Amino acid sequence: MSLFAGIDCGTQGTKVVIVDSEQGAILGEGSAAHPLISDSNGRREQQAGWWIEALVAAFHQAVSHAGVDARQIKALGVSGQQHGFVPLDEQGTVLHNVKLWCDTETVDENEALLAQLGGVSGSLAQLGLMVATGYTASKIIWFKQQHPELWSRLHTVLLPHDYLNFWLTGERVMEYGDASGTGLLNVRTREWDRRIVDLIDDSGRLWNALPPLKSAESCIGTLRSEAAERLGLSTATRVATGGGDNMMAAIGSGNIAVGTLTMSLGTSGTLFAWSAAPVVSESEMIAGFCSSTNGWLPLICTMNVTSATSAVQALLEEDVDGFNRLLDQAEPGAGGLEMLPFFNGERVPQLPYARASLHNLDSDNFTRANLCMAVVESATYGLRYGMELFRRQGISPREIRLTGGGARSPRWRQIVADVMNCPVVCLQVKETAALGGAIQAMWATALAEEPHQQADGVLSDLCQRFVSLDESTRAAPDARRQPQYDALYQRYLQRLQQAYPEASL
């Protein structure tokens, strides 16, 4: 029995899967929640220590569920929410709460940095992508300006998954996929960009705080004694590079070749596809990230998916099952009720100051069921907005692989198929980012033990073994509803452009 573990540290909690590489099976899963610090000014933060406690709890739960001796686990791979800023001092102390991917408090700092780069075109030319609010760069500027006494102690800049790697191994490193989302990496050359770093801080402190970069199939080290003791593992357990949650979900959904697109209906909404070369996009809203498979992963992220549906669910005092029952009672178009679901501002389209709104209410359509339908449809229209940008770049998938909590709703899956006019299907393993971490750990271990193997072939074989589709979830576009949703999407665009003229495609 050869055991591996995948860890996913997300916004809402940490999840762990234990995988037997010989049987090709997941033996156990565990999860633990973390709280969120939020404010109406866009502040979204967490304490890094919460992630460690959640990791330990979820890990023991997964091992117990698997019924195995944890000391048999050969390697770990860590997935983490992207763009977070974890500042460490020389001793490894976290200097401030971690500002998360969904933090929009640093809008002004990002706009100032973008202007210094020469606007959108200058950022695309310099880095291969547009520095966006939510990326790590503007968080660093905010930290430097708001906390100069802490800035003077800054020794290392890490991302959330890197911090877990640091706690596990003591190593301060990044890999190219997650590093792409800092706004400090040239995604075409895969190098830290000295010009943008010096625009933020020309003293050398930030440049020296950027960790070395490791390729995706590498192991970065083995477990520290403290981490091994708390997790019940051997100090010989390897730790792979890991990556951002989207990069790991690409591996965990088998999205490692052209033709497949992964769509996450999570707190945020993401669309991403694989590319063998850097994506030179006509739209700055497509982030041409590196993948965690040594390729590229063009990606679009919307800020309001299950975060928006959860807000409506809480308002109606319904659990997920109750929300879905209400959703099933509503017809396409929600009786004319329209929503712009921008509870957290929005990234695609670029509307960081936007707020959610309801439109076209009357005494007949203002029902609980229509409110549920309106928020689901509007969140899905936001993802179609992103899909249209992909199609303009020649990215037209044959199939969409759905992940995230929203994908568990049969009605929502059908709505996605109808709105996107593309077949959709879920994966047998729901925790695709955690599974991706485990697969990457197997990949890195196989190459460490037999370095002369072809890296791409090893990864492809692993994905074929571990990534399987749940055919019971497959949904194809409905011939009657799909044209109806084309018209409803156009109505959404009209509403969007009335409220935010700058949002036109």
> What whole-number distance in Å separates Cα of residue 265 and Cα of residue 249?
12
Are the C-beta atoms of residues 173 and 157 closer than 8 Å to each other? no
What confidence score (pLDDT) does residue 500 get?
95
Tokens of 78: 């860590």
Does the bond joining 349 to the residue before it have cis omega, within 30 degrees of 0?
yes
Query: What are residue 37's DSSP bridge partners?
Result: 45
Position 266 scores a pLDDT of 87
Q: What is the pLDDT of residue 505?
A: 66
Check residue 464 and give its pLDDT: 92
Contact call for residues 36 and 44 (beta carbons, < 8 A): yes
Q: What angle do CA 83, 274, 129 make, to 5 degrees?
A: 45
Q: How far is CA 335 from the centre of its chain?
A: 33
Give the residue numbers annotated as catalytic, written as ranges. 245
Q: Return the closest-CA partner of residue 228 out of 242, 238, 218.
A: 238
| Mean pLDDT (10-residue bins), the chain, 505 residues | 93 95 91 95 96 98 96 97 97 98 92 96 94 94 98 98 98 97 96 98 98 95 98 97 95 92 91 88 86 93 94 97 98 98 90 93 97 98 95 89 93 98 94 95 95 92 94 97 97 96 80
At residue 353, the pLDDT reads 87
3-state secondary structure of 308: helix
Task: State if pTM tops 0.85.
Answer: yes
Could you list the residues known to form a binding site, using ranges: 82-83
Chain position carrying tokens 């404010």: 39
Beta bridge partners of 289: 297
Report residue 347 as tokens: 């990234």
DSSP label at 158?
E
Binding site residue list for substrate: 82-83
Can you give the pLDDT at residue 308?
97
pLDDT of residue 156: 98
Instruction: List % helix, strand, coil for the chain (3-state, nearest 5).
Output: 45, 25, 35
The token pair at 360 is 């076209």
